[in-house]
Structure 1
Amino acid sequence: MAALWRRRERFLGASGLCRTVRALSGKNEYDLLVIGGGSGGLACAKEAAQFGRKVAVLDYVDPSPQGTTWGVGGTCVNVGCIPKKLMHQAALLGSALKDAQHYGWSISQPVHHTWKVKYFNMKGSFSDPHTIRGLTKAGKETVVTAENIVIATGGRPKYPTHIAGALEYGITSDDLFWLKESPGKTLVVGASYVSLECAGFLTGIGLDTTVMMRSIPLRGFDQQMASLVTEHMESYGTKFLKRCFPTKVEKLESNRLQVTWKNTDLGTEERDSFDTVMWAVGRAPDTKTLNLETVGVKTNSETGKIIVDAGEATSVPHIYAIGDITEGRPELTPTAIAAGKLLARRLFGQSSELMDYDNVPTTVFTPLEYGCVGLSEEVAVQSYGSDNIEVYHAYYKPLEFTVAERDATQCYMKMVCLREREQRILGLHFIGPNAGEVIQGFALGIKCGATYPQLMKTIGIHPTCAEEITKLHITKRSGLDATVTGC
């Protein structure tokens, strides 16, 4: 694992993130001041600098309740997408090593994983609409003024503080990737993509892992696909406590954590002990110290997120917000980066191009990946009516699963189309190996308004999983068996 963390540090350094942070001292005037050194904020700052503007970035990470902190780069680089994908790959390599014997490789069993981690700062708040008060960890104050200000502070994981012992004994994804010891037997509370991704790779590296879900998995995603994802995880060893919610976490004399929960289906109270309890119950916008109310930046009273218009402008002229902190935007690194660049171009490059948030592709990096772009089947039916929707689908078996005789029950894809003459594609959903790589390519076509007939004219690359999309012909409406039987 040490190599994975060296790779993470190289990613941070090689991307030039550190070089974008200007040293701030005294009272300075800037064309653009960005509060938040994550992916979106740094992309905006670097793009603005390309136009010869004087740019500054303020970035500071409050330690998590367990004391975890990191440097510039934001959630994605330090405790999100990058380490998550590397840990996902570590788990996949473990599975591949087990499969290797079926391909003729002599590998001693069982495969064992060793956990190693290597550890790799100005907080800003508004004084007035053009002035930011920066405070270092040591308490040194710096006042900075700017013509334009971009808020890009992102979000942090929520703690269920109403549950006794949650804050004292639990961790979040902020902490997981910085643990110096293996988390051991782990309870992951929540049904979000963060929950399932982390539980998936923990199971994949050989740890006893349980997911506790109060309601449905992957809320906001297509629920048929979400069910297949959790079914696959269960079949490969992840345990699920469904329709359960925790009520108390206690530390035992053995230093293990005893969790008490209620099972809503059975109406019973149950308990078990774990080495680690990880909360994955959502994220909250990091706005509490920005002093937004002083300058009149409006937020959503329920979510706490900043309200912006199509041009990322807040309720205050010259103050903008991008990324996870904004209301109604996808909480995705690539959208924050793209929005930041486009904002800088509109401010300083005589551009008028707005960010387009439709048909943004994404992937959930569970052991069997789930990639999608466009509308879920539920949203399509809600938007257009069930009689106006056609769903093409197929169950398939990846070629690489055959030799190792791996179960492919949950390898599935579906395309949601309008039932009009052109049959425009509204959404594409794919569960299988390398789903992110598959969906990225098809996303271009769907973004350009691709239709089902056009896709049927596309020649597939053989033998790949992605080619099965170009052969979709069975509709749900037909009731026919959608299992792919051969070439």
Structure 2
Amino acid sequence: MSETYDYDLVVIGAGSGGVRAARVSAAHGARVAIAEEYRVGGTCVIRGCVPKKLLVYGAHFAEDLQDARRFGWEVGESRFDWPTLRDNVLGEVERLEGLYSDMLERNEVEILAQRATVTGPNEVTLADGTKVSAGTILIATGAHPMVPDVPGAEHGITSNEMFHLDSIPRRAVIVGGGYIANEFAGILHEFSCHVTIVNRGDRILRHYDEQIRDRLLTISLMKGIDFKFNAPIEKIEKQEDGSLRIHLAGQDPIAADLLLWAVGRLPNTGGLGLEAVGVELGKNGAILVDEDNQSSVASIYAIGDVTDRVQLTPVAIREGHAFAETVFGGKPTRVDYENIPSAVFSHPPIAGVGMTEGQARDRVGEYKTYVADFRPMKNVLAGRNERALYKLIVDEETEKVLGIHMIGPDAPEILQAAAIAVKAGLTKAQFDETIALHPTMSEELVLMR
């Protein structure tokens, strides 16, 4: 760290990863500034996983109120008010934004509330023309939703706008087959919206275990969510009444009141000036970095979604922490990307860690699967036919558990603890030796034979 520069570190982007990197670097004694053109907190806090999970909670009351009657509760006529949920969620987002800002200020990180661009290996220029020098620059600008280049695409919205709807649409078309598409499909459906998922491919959630994703598809169809596969969008027309007519290749057009693009996310590198200073970019504009998050320019690093390695908030946070420890803490640290748990907060949710069955087939050859296919106790009494599915992928030779995949109530909450076992390399025998916690859904993980 040197007085030669205005700061030891300037972070561009105050999302979860950037905030962690700034805070930990400052704790190590670095003089740190963080530039943010929108709101502190980033996608996850402001318009991503946090507000979306709150909508998931709100949506689930639709089923909970129905089930309550089977458990003896006299539930009168109920009515859902979208503005109440929307405004309460946005209020919580504002509270969290304040906490993030307070955290930075307490750690003596200066917040530069402007857009910043890179104008030199050690120079950042703010929107008002101010030039700031830094020994190290960290790019943590995240990613943004992709909108395809088709006629009428501007009539659709992205996940960014979903939290600000004036009202819940009567009919919605969601384009895409990933986690964002399936999560918002479940939310809107529970709010009495007719949902159609349109996918240009032939499957949903292609990175998840096939048996698990097929179970979600079956349950979603039973609930009344429609799916159109192998159906690329040709064009979107806005009608006189404000509704949309969505034309698909080889299929009849669909009428909708809302079109949500959920076809992927692109790194936020446009207009940052990176290529001009020699930073090498890869596919979709992602910043190419090494194992220490360092770019092709020695003084410029990048973490999180802008690198397009693993687009998950906890990964960005871990990368930010590793960067700070390595560059300013004197403790070289690298992120281990093996066995990262992930979840889809659909209805019901999916969670998984480690190898899928397809990956085990390609990588280890001989493997075994253990499956628990059951109806959760609560669903039985509620008269709900949804079945949960838990799956263990086991190396046949070593008995090591290579992967755990599940769909069912609270699956993500259960998987977080189980992911520790996979990360630790425990065997199926060690699972079997663990006494079951009864009666729970999670006990199925140690009862599979």
Please give the alpha-carbon distance, in whole angstroms, between the structure 2 residues aligned to 1:299 and 1:453: 46
Is 1:212 aligned to residue 193 of structure 2?
no
Which SS does the other structure have where 2:151 is aligned?
coil
Partner of 2:230: 243
Q: Give a deviation string over 1:104-137, Cα, whole Å, max 9, x none.
A: 11112465443443365411111111001111xx
1:85 maps to which of 36, 53, 57: 53
Partner of 1:454: 430
Q: How does 1:114-129 map to 2 (within 5 A)?
A: 114-116=82-84, 117-118=86-87, 121-129=113-121
Q: Give a deviation string over 1:427-467, Cα, whole Å, max 9, x none.
A: 10011111111000011111111111111111221111110
Given residue 286 of structure 2, which amino acid in structure 1 is its aligned partner? Answer: K
Partner of 2:132: 144
Q: How does 1:18-97 map to 2 (within 5 A)?
A: 29-61=6-38, 71-97=39-65
Partner of 2:326: 346
Identical-residue share of aligned pairs (%): 35
Please give the alpha-carbon distance, in whole angstroms, between the structure 2 residues aligned to 1:355 and 1:175: 33
Please give the alpha-carbon distance, in whole angstroms, between the structure 1 residues aligned to 2:139 and 2:360: 33
How far did residue 245 of structure 1 move?
1.9
How far did residue 219 of structure 1 move?
2.0
Q: Is this contact kept in 2: 1:94–1:111, CA < 8 A?
A: no
Please give the alpha-carbon distance, in whole angstroms, between the structure 1 residues aligned to 2:40 and 2:166: 21
Q: How does 1:239-318 map to 2 (within 5 A)?
A: 239-262=226-249, 268-300=250-282, 302-318=283-299
TM value normalised by structure 1: 0.84
Please give the alpha-carbon distance, in whole angstroms, between the structure 2 residues aligned to 1:115 and 1:244: 33
How far did residue 221 of structure 1 move?
1.6
Is 1:227 aligned to residue 214 of structure 2?
yes
Which SS does the other structure have where 1:412 is aligned?
strand
Which SS does the other structure have where 2:6 is aligned?
strand
Partner of 2:302: 321
Q: Is this contact kept in 2: 1:158–1:281, CA < 8 A?
A: yes
More helix by share: 2
Unaligned runs of 5+ in 2: 95-112
Q: How does 1:275-424 map to 2 (within 5 A)?
A: 275-300=257-282, 302-327=283-308, 329-385=309-365, 388-409=366-387, 411-420=388-397, 422-424=398-400
Which SS does the other structure have where 2:73 is aligned?
coil
Given residue 268 of structure 2, which amino acid in structure 1 is its aligned partner? Answer: D
How far did residue 379 of structure 1 move?
1.1
Partner of 1:105: 73
Unaligned runs of 5+ in 1: 1-26, 62-70, 263-267, 474-487
Specify whether residues 269 and 233 from structure 1 end up closer, same or farther in structure 2 by C-alpha distance, changes over 3 A only: closer
Q: Is this contact kept in 2: 1:131–1:146, CA < 8 A?
A: yes
Q: Give a deviation string over 1:305-356, Cα, whole Å, max 9, x none.
A: 11111111111112111111114x2110011111101210111111122111
Which SS does the other structure have where 1:147 is aligned?
strand
Please give the alpha-carbon distance, in whole angstroms, between the structure 2 residues aligned to 1:311 and 1:183: 46
Which SS does the other structure have where 1:148 is aligned?
strand
Q: Give a deviation string over 1:33-69, Cα, whole Å, max 9, x none.
A: 11111110111111111112111111124xxxxxxxx
Please give the alpha-carbon distance, in whole angstroms, between the structure 2 residues aligned to 1:323 and 1:296: 20
Q: Give a deviation string over 1:188-226, Cα, whole Å, max 9, x none.
A: 011010000011111012211111112121122212211
Please give the alpha-carbon distance, in whole angstroms, between the structure 2 residues aligned to 1:359 and 1:171: 33
Q: CA RMSD in A?
A: 1.5
TM value normalised by structure 2: 0.91
Please give the alpha-carbon distance, in whole angstroms, between the structure 2 residues aligned to 1:440 and 1:151: 29
